[in-house]
Chain A
Amino acid sequence: MTPLVDARRVSKKFLLRHGSSAELKVRVMDRLRRRRTWVEEFWALRQISLCIGPGEALGLVGRNGSGKSTLLKLIAGLHRPTSGELLVRRGLKIGAMIELGVGFHGELSGRENVFLNASLYGLSREAVTGKYPAIVAYAELSHFMDVPLKAYSSGMQMRLAFAVAATLDPEVLLIDEVFAVGDQDFQIKCIATLKQFQARGGTLLFVSHAPSAVRALCDRVCVLDRGELTFDGATGDGLEYYERQVARALVTSESEGTGSHKAGQRAEPGTALSDDELSHAWHRVRHGPAWAACGVWMADLLRREGVQPDHFVLDLGCGSLGTGRLLLPYLSQSRYWGWEPDRDLLFDGIAIELARAGIDPVRGHFIVNRTFDFSDCEHPFTWVFASSLFSRLPLHGVARCLASVLPRLTPGGRFYATVFDGPVTEDVRRADGTVTKADGEPYHHDLGILDGLARSLGGQMTRVEAPPHPRGESLVLFTRGAD
């Protein structure tokens, strides 16, 4: 059957202008001063391919910011895709309920608002006049139609708005979270209406956070995650996938936003990267040229020291999984824990590096937060390692890390960390030309102070001789001390 909507590798990029403005003066002055406004690219959708056939009821689920609404808006023609093809059958009657009650005005009566609102959907005056009694009956507001809308409760306004939208009778209905408002009865009524719409052969594209509504209406579910289509299949499986994703979600994240990244380009996951592209990918560049070597170095160290597959291992600052990708296949299920403050870095590690190595991320656990909160893990760790993490942390960050991690070591457990050794007073130029700082990234730390920190927390620190580190960092070992 020919589809109604056929998306082929559709991507949508938004430009977030930082420090730019729609004011002409500002733009001209910026141009004159040669000040570059920093434009961040935000990929709301990446390489989405999906087909929607006539009569389908497709549920779109995903966390906030996953691109669900953007996809609806592209199909509705409100935004234009950046790349790919988004084929929509010519002449298809699309009804978009992206927001209800658009154009409602409090000073106008219910009746006047119905006519205005309906004409925004393109209905002619005669058409609305014909449908008007049905709209009023559906909204159950016949006594209020001559009253200004400002006298309505928000629930009443919602009912009226939905009543108008429900009588549009398009071929495809795009619905974006419109049941968020309204009481239980109203929601049941909405779902009943949508079912009738389906029974008449209508096609439904339904964005919702409410699994019950999706289950009731949809026979197919697509899960979006950060702009990517990660699941497309039967409703039961899709919701289960989504719930698993949310609950365990690879991530228990503090709501700190997505973190900002200025340098480098994030690779578009889903595209196969060549080795050269990979070495220039944002998640590797962020770490530096020694990305792969550092990972190997740390993995070798741990194997030498005797990590066993059933040991619990915590990878602190696991980043884009330079070490994780080597340890995950070796360790048993659920023994690898990765903690990372930069969510984007970890996501690219999972999406690109693990995918490339053919490793199922579900083998491990991943935690994203900035507070060293490991409360999700009930086991103590035999091994903890922090590869180059301390170069990203100021001293108080290191202190916080130690305070949180040391109590989670098993009695004989070991915490290895690589650290740039340097004085608290001045910057140090390293052999490869990088300059490490006492008060800025990349940080170096005075090993004596770190030892003092460890002692104050009941542990101790020793410096360990090891093969030369690819970035020239020293290796230190923290233990819980004499107990």
Chain B
Amino acid sequence: MAAPAFIDRTTERPTLLGTWRAVFTYRALLRNLVARDLKLKYRGSALGFLWSLINPLVMLAVYTVAFTVFLGRGGPQFVFLLLVGLLGWTFFAASIAGASGSLVDNTSLTKSLHFPRAILPLASVLFNLSQLVLTALVFVPVLMVYHQVTPTWVMGLFPVLLALQLVFVAGVALTLAALTAMFRDIRHLVEVGIGVLFWMTPIIYTLGDLPERVRWAIAYTPVSPFIRGYQAIVIHQTVPALEIWLASAGFAVVAVAVGVRVFSRLEPRLGEML
């Protein structure tokens, strides 16, 4: 059957394939938005890129002092565990926070141009991915040398797990961006949610520190499998357990399925909601 020669704007519905083809067509936009945010972040500041390193450094220092000095906790590898956890966490948290506002903060774009709206939250995710990669490239080698961890082939699994997390984060980002356009409150809810979820993720503690009965619950909070996986790969140079892979992949698949669905549903109405 030949495709009809006309599209009716009244009944037009974006198909999944059509949407992703459009995102691909507009990949230059995605790239330029990420580049813009990177440039704007460093341009005009004296320390430039160093700020991206100072921020995790200060966080590391604060948590380390609080836990090892004040509370007398934390093992010898505390700083390393913390850093790896924070990298994965910050990617998630910053992406979600940025993506929630990505549509409502860019109404000047969405009101007058017809590009795939999914580009905006995705740009926020990719920007934060670039931050993660840059910071990891500086800190991880330093700490590996300090803790005398010899990299093995297992490090090759790091990008694989990162790819899963990217899919997961993108799914959540799409969902929240679209919902925020509908209810501006979602943004505040996200802020609160991120604060709560941080403490429900094994970043400044390990599962081993927890009482038996809550351990399994914390092990499977949404960001937890990714963090545990990174720690296994980078610090212990071991292949993460099967349950970590299953949970990570499961979260990624569910998040992206929900995200794509919600976003496609709401996209035709975004013009009037923004």
Specify whether A and B are partners: yes
Which residues of chain B are near A88, meaning CB under 8 Å? Answer: 6-9
Which residues, 68 to 122 on A, are CB-close (under 8 Å) to B?
73-90, 94, 96, 98-99, 102-103, 105, 107-108, 112, 115-116, 119-122
**Contact, CB under 8 Å: B112 / A98:** yes
The residue that A78 contacts in the complex, of B26, B27, B111, with Cβ under 8 A, is: B111
Q: Chain A contact residues: over half helix, strand or loop, or mixed?
A: mixed
Which residues of chain B are near A80, meaning CB under 8 Å? Answer: 9-10, 12, 268-269, 271
| Nearest A-chain residue to B14, judged by Cβ | A77
**Contact, CB under 8 Å: A120 / B113:** yes
**Contact, CB under 8 Å: B40 / A116:** no
The residue that A90 contacts in the complex, of B7, B36, B39, with Cβ under 8 A, is: B7
Instruction: Tell me if A56 counts as interface (CB < 8 A to partner B).
Output: no
Give the CA-CA distance A346 to B111 in the complex, in Å.
Answer: 33
Size of the chain B interface, CB-CB below 8 angstroms: 39
Which residues of chain B are near A38, meaning CB under 8 Å? Answer: none
**Contact, CB under 8 Å: B33 / A90:** no
**Contact, CB under 8 Å: A119 / B36:** no
Size of the chain A interface, CB-CB below 8 angstroms: 47
Shortest Cβ gap from A115 to chain B (Å): 6
- Beyond A2-B5, A87-B8, A120-B109, whether A125 also contacts B28 by CB under 8 A is yes
Instruction: Tell me if B272 counts as interface (CB < 8 A to partner A).
Output: yes
The residue that A23 contacts in the complex, of B10, B28, B183, with Cβ under 8 A, is: B183
Give the CA-CA distance A305 to B5 in the complex, in Å.
Answer: 65
Shortest Cβ gap from B28 to chain A (Å): 4
Which residues of chain A are near B3, meaning CB under 8 Å? Answer: 90
Give the CA-CA distance A78 to B107 in the complex, in Å.
Answer: 12
Which residues of chain A are near B273, meaning CB under 8 Å? Answer: 22
Instruction: Tell me if B147 counts as interface (CB < 8 A to partner A).
Output: no
Give the CA-CA distance A74 to B186 in the complex, in Å.
Answer: 29
**Contact, CB under 8 Å: A124 / B5:** no
**Contact, CB under 8 Å: A75 / B25:** no
| Nearest B-chain residue to A3, judged by Cβ | B6
The residue that B9 contacts in the complex, of A23, A25, A74, with Cβ under 8 A, is: A74
Instruction: Tell me if B32 counts as interface (CB < 8 A to partner A).
Output: yes
| Nearest A-chain residue to B26, judged by Cβ | A122
Instruction: Tell me if A123 counts as interface (CB < 8 A to partner B).
Output: yes
| Nearest A-chain residue to B269, judged by Cβ | A80
Which residues of chain B are near A81, meaning CB under 8 Å? Answer: 9-10
Which residues of chain A are near B108, meaning CB under 8 Å? Answer: 99, 102-103
- Beyond A120-B29, A125-B28, whether A87 also contacts B7 by CB under 8 A is yes
**Contact, CB under 8 Å: A96 / B185:** no
Shortest Cβ gap from A84 to chain B (Å): 6
- Beyond A77-B12, A80-B9, A89-B6, whether A22 also contacts B114 by CB under 8 A is no
| Nearest A-chain residue to B180, judged by Cβ | A22
Instruction: Tell me if B75 counts as interface (CB < 8 A to partner A).
Output: no
Instruction: Tell me if B43 counts as interface (CB < 8 A to partner A).
Output: yes
Instruction: Tell me if A128 counts as interface (CB < 8 A to partner B).
Output: yes
**Contact, CB under 8 Å: B6 / A78:** no
- Beyond A80-B9, A86-B8, whether A103 also contacts B39 by CB under 8 A is no
Q: A88-B7, A96-B113, A108-B39 are in contact. List 7 more A-B contacts (CB 8 A).
A: A22-B184, A24-B184, A85-B10, A90-B7, A107-B39, A119-B29, A124-B27
CB-CB nearest 9 A-B residue pairs:
A87-B6, A86-B9, A119-B29, A24-B185, A99-B112, A119-B28, A98-B112, A24-B183, A81-B10
